Chain A
């Protein structure tokens, strides 16, 4: 009996310590990191909450080529898997560090006259056009997770920018308040589209003949530090059941097609790649609207980017991005 009690207590202790040892090792996710030297870079800022800082932060880039032809196999952008790059850097109580993920600005070291010293650079090691997501976690000097004492110990922002033209868009880092160990859930993130096609977000799009519309999709789930999570996204034109794939034209006609697009790790998916050629021909000069649905098993974070080349009708060049996976239009 004593032995059973001992085993139970040991098991309980392991579980208790196991659970709570991860609870406060806060992790944030930057779902979209885009670099394309010499023009495009992503300026990342990470800050930690005073009183809840660790001695170090562990950084993990999951990265892949932006375009086809730069990897041995697969479609790098959509279905290609990500490589891993990680490093650990010093941090300080209430610290803010900003850096250029491409490494072009200040060699990837801390930007903006940072008074603190860090033990290395922060940029991606890859060259050329790359996309990635970035994880940042409270850690010790070896990169192992440590409790910082809060579920929101870390915060962050990112700006994707073209340093030649000044075009930019930005977003806040994602912090799952319920999971801390490289796991992100739809509930904890609160801004993800749920897997399974039951939670979709509606959006409009301008004439593809003039405007480029692109979705930056990053599936979220377990083990984002090592896993290549995949997803399937599709456009849907019927709110009842969210299963009729298609779009709705500017005139209100429903256009049907089957065109699911698979994405692994992270992807920039062109709107026109999500519709069939018949539909593209119909809405090429007008645009339309639809729901963006996730039809796989993993929830996604989704950002929508719209771009038009200098056009006086629209006030010049426009480059606008926003978080799609937020709002109250869930079904």
Chain B
């Protein structure tokens, strides 16, 4: 027996050891989790204790900017790692004025040059940065000013000096979102907002050789607004995909510049779907692969899709790539990384109720996908907002992770994984779920809960509540708020399981011998009601989901 235990323990350590070889992991924090992770190559950027930091997979955290010294709060950080260049851009919001600063390292983060001031302005709202393959650095300050909606700081000498160019519009222009795309000769500044009095998506080209803005072009009037936009270049020509709606029906539309003309396209299969976000990759031969999450409200929650086009967006092939077993839980916000023909997509996945990071692999540029949705993060932590990059045959995945189920404090985690290991994982079969065992276990737990309610065994009923509720409501508080009901009997009427969520109808007999309502004593005679409870399969067993009867609120959203 002892030998068996030792053998099992040894095997477990071996598995963990082998796993640690496959996955290189660093964790740092606590971080400001309202700012989504920023990953470039194998570096992440984050706010810790209000200060701006970066760290690499193989390096310690480096403080880039001290907010107290700056006398301002740091927002909208941007990080771009290109070759040996590590470039950061950010906004500092101080009392009365807002500034845009940048900082650069030319030796992959070993040393950093001093902070460079770029501009100041009350209306400065956010920053964008882009570096092209020739090392030209472009920093954009997005302003709330209608007359000068943005400014562009261009460096043609690898960030040593910047020259400011300001777009001044004769007519008022309000920009909600702006995405720059560089080609050999131009920077295309795609925007959504209000131009010439119309809600529109448009583009302002900037000529890199003359250093001048060209005419603002409205690409499409979007009466019902634009939720997000994703811009890229296809064969050195600019293109954009954006989410809008027509007659209150969502659509993913786009524009691509082909032979000097802007050509509109629509991804027809997404019509009516509420797409949360989109990420994309374009190969040198012009193949576009876009991954996005979308839902059909009332039918299924956010799911993961891949859409590909070989003709600059004129036609698209769309497919669902995640498991269809879990349509009642959210899988969303996918990100993509590519190495040759290999594609990895990561997303935030709530199939296990406690959100985790999952990954899907394709080895043929997204035409087909391995069946397995590879779990990336540890199941015991709530993990969210993943990013992914590929550097020298290594995948780097960054995400945020709460320290416990109270979800108050979060760290940023970065994991590195060799591509060949990722492919090996993708080929492994998943252990099938024993549905009968799961259903049996559910009835056991429901019976245990209601037996506990009848016997007033609060320890049992408390332990069956979901962990997100228990971490917030201590046992003593739970007992105090049990209410005056005396449960006499129960009967399970109906059980329905979908994925890791179950709906259970129970007929309950209860009475309230004594009840004080608004200062008056009253009672409730023996009454029969049918209650509908939700149970969640978390950490290998079923838990009763706490739902506030009055507001419908609970401790977990998935």
Contacts and interface: CB of A to CB of B under 8 A. Distances in A.
* A and B from one complex: yes
Interface of A: 34, 36-40, 43, 67, 75, 104-107, 111-113, 127-128, 159-165, 167, 208-212, 214, 244-246, 251-258, 260, 268, 270, 273, 276-281, 285-286, 305, 307-311, 313, 319
B515 A163 contact: yes
Most chain B C-beta atoms within 10 Å of own C-beta, residue among A286, A310, A319: A310
Where chain B touches its partner, the secondary structure class is strand
Contact of A162 (B75, B276, B549, B555): B549
Contacts of A209: 407, 557
A244 B223 CA distance: 9
22 contacts: A105-B522, A127-B529, A128-B530, A160-B550, A162-B548, A167-B550, A209-B557, A212-B551, A212-B553, A214-B552, A245-B225, A254-B176, A257-B227, A258-B224, A278-B228, A279-B227, A280-B276, A281-B276, A281-B333, A285-B33, A307-B548, A310-B472
Interface string B527-558: 10110100000000000001011111111010
B85 interface: no
A246 B276 CA distance: 15
A142 to B, nearest CB: 32
Interface stretch (B107-115, B209-217, B422-430, B478-486): B478-486
Contacts of B192: 256
A113 B227 contact: no
Interface in B232-290: 243, 245, 248, 250, 274-277
B550 A104 contact: no
B226 interface: yes
Given A309-B472, A319-B551, A277 B302 contact: yes
4 tightest Cβ-Cβ pairs between the two chains A and B: A164-B483, A212-B553, A256-B225, A307-B551
Interface of B: 33-34, 75, 125-126, 144, 176, 192, 199, 224-228, 243, 245, 248, 250, 274-277, 293-295, 297-298, 302, 332-333, 407-408, 469, 472-473, 477, 481-485, 508, 510, 512, 515, 517-518, 520, 522, 524-525, 527, 529-530, 532, 546, 548-555, 557
Contacts of B512: 38
Contacts of A273: 297
B277 A281 contact: yes
A159 B553 contact: no
B527 A37 contact: yes
Given A253-B126, A258-B224, A276-B274, A214 B481 contact: no
Given A36-B550, A104-B524, A258-B224, 17 more contacts: A37-B527, A40-B550, A67-B532, A105-B522, A112-B518, A113-B520, A161-B517, A162-B549, A167-B550, A211-B553, A256-B225, A273-B297, A276-B276, A277-B332, A281-B332, A286-B34, A319-B548
A167 B552 CA distance: 13
A319 B551 CA distance: 8
Given A36-B549, A244-B199, A309-B472, A253 B125 contact: yes
Contacts of B530: 127-128
Contacts of A251: 75
